[in-house]
Structure 1
Amino acid sequence: MIRVAAVGDIHLGPDSAGLLRPAFDTLGACADVLLLAGDLTRHGTPVEARVVAAEVAGLAVPVVAVLGNHDYQSDQQEAVTQELRAAGVHVLEGDGVALRLAGTTVGVAGTKGFCGGFAGGSGSEFGEPEMKAFIRYTRSCAEGLGRALAELRAADCALRIALTHFAPVPDTLAGEPREIYPFLGSYLLAEAMDEQGADLAVHGHAHLGTEHGMTAGGIRVRNVAMPVIDRAFAVYHLASDGRAPASDGRAPAPDADPFAPPAAGRPQVPGVTR
């Protein structure tokens, strides 16, 4: 059984240094890997990235991340990536990593992803150059994710996980205004997952969304934005054949709830946007 801890949209800054570390220090007892689903910083600066790096450096489990739109805000996404990688984080964008976890080879394929919408309400590569470029970027992200999943399959990974920031399905957006669905994700991400296969898909970005969803091909999708899961991380269980046990979802917490962030509950960031 592989235990996958995941969280996104933690939006850390200098004033939240140390906020999540006590919870993350419990990961060795309840998880085999930690996935970070983007929007790790508030404005995408190296200073903020160093705070994130300190929260996850030297943990008892490997850490795999994708960036989110906030991590691109200052046009310093490469510097943000470097800070995280210096702390040992596997930062993915159109590529994957194979990890040996609890005797099982688990592959994680990642991309930030982008906007575009879903069936019945999606953009297309038609019209103005700006619109074509918009959708082509989304398609490029999805194609990168698909290639990474295919490479992990070729590498004989027993389990494969798709990690994105933007949503691959509308299911996990329930609770968000429908008018902004096209800006929260794209069906192209789900198509790539269904075409190449995955055992679990994890994303963030939709703060007002819903935790559970599924692609048309039957891949379980989980929205792990911190405002949705309302804790430092959620834990999902995968059997070595990819099936989820009846307890799939948040790991049950003991009375002391070591999975919850300290006192504040989660980073309190007034005015943070998606």
Structure 2
Amino acid sequence: MSSAMSERPDKFTFAAIGDLHVKEDRTLSFRQLFAEVSTKAQVLVLCGDLTDLGKPSEAELLAEDLRACSIPVIGVLGNHDYESGRTEDVKRVLKGAGMHLLNGQSYEINGVAFVGVKGFIGGFGRRMLASFGEAVVKDLVAEAVNEATRLENAMRAVASKQAVVVLHYAPIPDTVEGEPPEILPFLGSSRLGETIDRFKVSAVVHGHAHQGRYEGRTPGGARVYNVARSIEKPTGRPYALIEV
């Protein structure tokens, strides 16, 4: 775990946004948005699908915009960032821009540990997909379990009093409400929520569900926020401002 500052103020605010989907055609720039966020929060958290097709060229455009951000940037990748099979190149570009990419690690700032994994699909509650039947189904469930285990291992290493979990996929069904019911199992997994509830977590942020709902809670009471760019937020802006 790395640390950017030694002491936490009484009030700590971070900004969070997911699903930027940066495209090569450069139709949308986030430079002004990142500059704005830098005046309102102490950290910017990006919740995956940073690129549209997982191309290094898209990551380079995002890296250019991130230069306007004067606060630390933390985040995870999403499924779109894997599309072109160039994930390592995408990571290299974003890390080169100073972004702290998390995949089973944490980054601590001002006494708050940001713990991140991408997460995976599988569904929620009693309808969660079980490891039964064809080998390919068992492989899919194993991937969901692996992501939850990676999150658990990272949380066990956290010594901070405050922890924020950063995901791409949703850990609860509440924040994906509004999406077509046919695709709900592909938007997240309760395995993530079950893991979160084993620990004291101040807030959880995720993206992926573009038509979901902004706020919900895990069964254990942890606050969960869907910060996908298209989700309506209390700020009236594409990003959320969350206090811990």
Residue in 2 that maps onto 1:198? 201
Residue in 2 that maps onto 1:169? 172
Alignment partner of 2:89 out of 79, 87, 92: 79
Residue in 2 that maps onto 1:140? 146
Q: How many angstroms does 1:18 deviate by? A: 6.6
Moved more, 122-131 or 225-234: 225-234
Check conservation: 1:171, 1:213, Cα contact below 8 A. Answer: yes
Is 1:125 paired with 2:131?
yes
Residue in 1 that maps onto 2:5? none
Residue in 2 that maps onto 1:181? 184
Q: Give the 5 Å matches for 1:89-128.
A: 89-100=99-110, 105-128=111-134
Question: Which string of whole-angstrom CA distances, capped at 9 and with x for unpartnered residues, describes residues 75-133 of structure 1?
Answer: 11111111100001000111211123xxxx11011111110001121111111110111
Give secondary structure in 2 for the equivalent of 1:81. Answer: helix
Residue in 1 that maps onto 2:161? 158
Structure 1: 5+ residue stretches without partners = 239-274
Residue in 2 that maps onto 1:50? 60
Check conservation: 2:15, 2:242, Cα contact below 8 A. Answer: yes
Is 1:64 paired with 2:42?
no
Q: Which whole-Å CA distance do the structure 2 matches of 1:204 and 1:222 have between them?
A: 8
Give secondary structure in 2 for the equivalent of 1:218. Answer: coil
Check conservation: 2:22, 2:28, Cα contact below 8 A. Answer: no
Give secondary structure in 1 for the equivalent of 2:130. Answer: coil
Q: How many angstroms does 1:63 deviate by? A: 0.4
Residue in 1 that maps onto 2:6? none
Give secondary structure in 1 for the equivalent of 2:32. Answer: helix
Q: How many angstroms does 1:158 deviate by? A: 2.7
Residue in 2 that maps onto 1:263? none
Alignment partner of 1:236 out of 227, 232, 242: 242
Q: Which whole-Å CA distance do the structure 1 matches of 2:149 and 2:32 have between them?
A: 37
Give secondary structure in 1 for the equivalent of 2:69. Answer: coil
Q: Give the 5 Å matches for 1:215-226.
A: 215-226=218-229
Amino acid corresponding to residue 187 of structure 1 in structure 2: S
Q: CA RMSD in A?
A: 1.3
Check conservation: 1:46, 1:79, Cα contact below 8 A. Answer: yes
Q: How many angstroms does 1:197 deviate by? A: 2.5
Q: How many angstroms does 1:202 deviate by? A: 0.2
Structure 2: 5+ residue stretches without partners = 1-10
Moved more, 136-145 or 225-234: 225-234
Q: How many angstroms does 1:191 deviate by? A: 0.9
Check conservation: 1:149, 1:198, Cα contact below 8 A. Answer: no
Give secondary structure in 1 for the equivalent of 2:238. Answer: coil
Alignment partner of 2:17 out of 7, 11, 28: 7
Q: How many angstroms does 1:59 deviate by? A: 2.1
Amino acid corresponding to residue 3 of structure 1 in structure 2: T
